[in-house]
Chains A and B, each alone.
Chain A
Amino acid sequence: MRRRASLVLLSVAVFLAAMAPTLRWYVFPRVAKVPSNEYQVVALEARPATLLDYSTLKAREVEKITIVQTLKGNVEESKRIERGTDRDVVVWDALSYVMGPDGKMVSKIPERYVFDAHSQEPVNVPGATVDGDRVTREGIEFKWPFFTEKRDYLYFDAQTRTSAPIHYAGTRTFRGLEVYYFEQTIPWTQVPMPKTMPIEGITPELIASTGLTRWYTTKRMFWVDPVTGAPVNGEEVHREELRGAKALMGTDTVTVFAGHVKMREDFIASTVDLVSANRVGVLLLASYLPWSFAVLALLLLALALWLEHRSRRPAPASAPGAGPGPRPAPEPVTPPV
């Protein structure tokens, strides 16, 4: 009986020992993915901000600028692209919509971001665009990979349409979560005019014909949950200028937009809640279950060996005279005559 129990325990121990690495390195990459039908909205604000008043062609300080950033997973496009690749692909149609204090549009930049659902590596296929321009991406955007490392990453900048390193700048505690803080500075760079301008009748081509050029610099900061790779907070110190404006505006440089953009408090709170819930699932699959299986496997193996050892030990003597030794002569069947 003990022998049979030890064999069953051995079987279960082997199963658990095999499942521990399988869960971490086989099941986890297949299950932990960004869903293709994700829909997320984030509102950011700069209070106060400097904004170009197109009616006077002068920069003025305004109470606030609101940026509404929507990410919407395009399931049909992901399925179409997946047919041509052997990976799970997510397609995000994104829109950064900037509003002045009166709610009127300041700028809007649509974007299509195609990436690997697990690793977040960009998938460069036709259709990946920023403001209608086809782009080839390197590095990440919006989200870091699961189990973010303490290192620099390449981060795609939609304004310049190029990638540059975003630097790991330390581990911080943010709303009770241990997060990695990343920082990237884009130096003054000439960037294309947005396709949609805030004043009707003014087109990027018209502005370009006056000799005006658009320049931009930013310092972007992200607080990233290293388990899910999701940013729980983001800020940007953003400046945009029109240069070569002397003939038109009297000064060579005019500020189009300047401000310190921060995620709105209610969106920070909901993002922290969402990320806290998601990280439990990720940790369960990648850490808690594999380690529990490994420890349990060792315990069961030890128990199996102990039972096996017990089953092989000779039984103790139960009465005097019993046990090994010469047996007494059997009683004769027929009495002696």
Chain B
Amino acid sequence: MRALVAVAIGLAAALCVVLLFALVELPPEGPTSPRPLLTTDPGPRK
């Protein structure tokens, strides 16, 4: 019986992680870059 409880606790913790990912929104990725679509040679890449 105690072993079953231990298994249930482990599964519940995993379920909590799943719920966390389902409910929590990932942080926003930021706005559109202000850099333009290039019409000149960008020069050598550092």
Contacts and interface: CB of A to CB of B under 8 A. Distances in A.
Interface of A: 3, 7-8, 10-15, 17-19, 22, 26-27, 30-31, 35-37, 39, 41, 43, 66, 68, 70, 72-76, 93-95, 97, 99, 103, 105, 108, 110, 264, 266-267, 269-270
B45 A76 contact: no
Given A11-B9, A95-B38, A266-B45, A37 B14 contact: no
A43 B21 contact: no
A281 B23 CA distance: 23
A267 B45 contact: yes
B6 A70 contact: no
Contacts of B37: 70, 72, 93-95, 97, 110
A103 B40 contact: yes
A108 B39 contact: yes
Interface majority SS (helix, strand, loop, mixed), chain B: loop
B26 to A, nearest CB: 7
A32 to B, nearest CB: 11
Contact of B14 (A18, A31, A66): A18
A295 B33 CA distance: 43
B33 A18 contact: no
Contacts of B32: 37, 72-76
Given A14-B10, A18-B10, A68-B40, A37 B18 contact: no
B14 to A, nearest CB: 4
B45 A105 contact: no
Nearest to A91: B32
Interface of B: 2-3, 5-7, 9-11, 13-14, 17-18, 21, 26, 29-33, 35-42, 44-46
Nearest to B20: A27
A7 B6 contact: yes
Contacts of B40: 68, 99, 103
B28 to A, nearest CB: 8
B31 A75 contact: yes
A218 to B, nearest CB: 22
Contacts of A37: 29-33
A36 B10 contact: no
B14 A73 contact: no
B12 to A, nearest CB: 9
